[in-house]
Amino acid sequence: MQTLKYLAGYPDSLLAQVRELIDGDRLGPMLASRYAGSHAVRNDGQLYDYVQDMKSRHLRKSVPLGKVLYDGKLQVVKHALGTHTAISRVHGGQLKASREVRIASVFRDAPEPFLRMIVVHELAHLRHLEHDKAFYQLCVNMAPDYHQLEFDTRLWLTHREMGGDGKSTAPEG
């Protein structure tokens, strides 16, 4: 049985359901039906505006933003999302220190809600280093459906890595 590396830390019962979807070739269609279309945040300048806009709506009093960029070398699990476990954490430290927001390039071609999720995640790290309760509370303040979006993003990354194109197959765009 293959490891679902993007979903490490989630309960076995949930992973069993995911495996069922994968085995039945239903994961891609399910994602496509829920997340259609792409977004217009194509380059680092547009990404900066997108992040700044979100920040000024939710974290006005926080430190000013530094550089914002799509990073093609960022490994999503190791550096962007971290492993989904309650206490452990590893990434984010440098980002906080430098106030940079690096978004893995894979999100350039993701549905907009997934980009929103990862931006919210990185903005929350401007205030909280760890993936602790306060961190996720802030994420939810910025995006009420944060937990669902993070899970679905992990599903999308899983699907994509298994050869799905990860993009919407909805009829028109």
Contacts to Zn ion by CB under 5 A: 82, 92
Nearer to Zn ion by Cβ, of 17 and 137: the residue is 137
Q: How far is the CB of 129 from Zn ion (least distance, A)?
A: 9
Q: Where are the alpha helices (DSSP H) in 24-172?
A: 27-34, 44-58, 93-98, 112-124, 133-142, 146-161
Q: How far is the CB of 114 from Zn ion (least distance, A)?
A: 15
Nearer to Zn ion by Cβ, of 45 and 93: the residue is 93
Nearer to Zn ion by Cβ, of 94 and 169: the residue is 94
SS3 per-residue string spanning 70-81: EECCCCHHHHHH
Q: How far is the CB of 120 from Zn ion (least distance, A)?
A: 11
- Per-position b or e across 52-68, b if 16+ CB within 10 A of its CB: eebbeeebeeeeebeeb
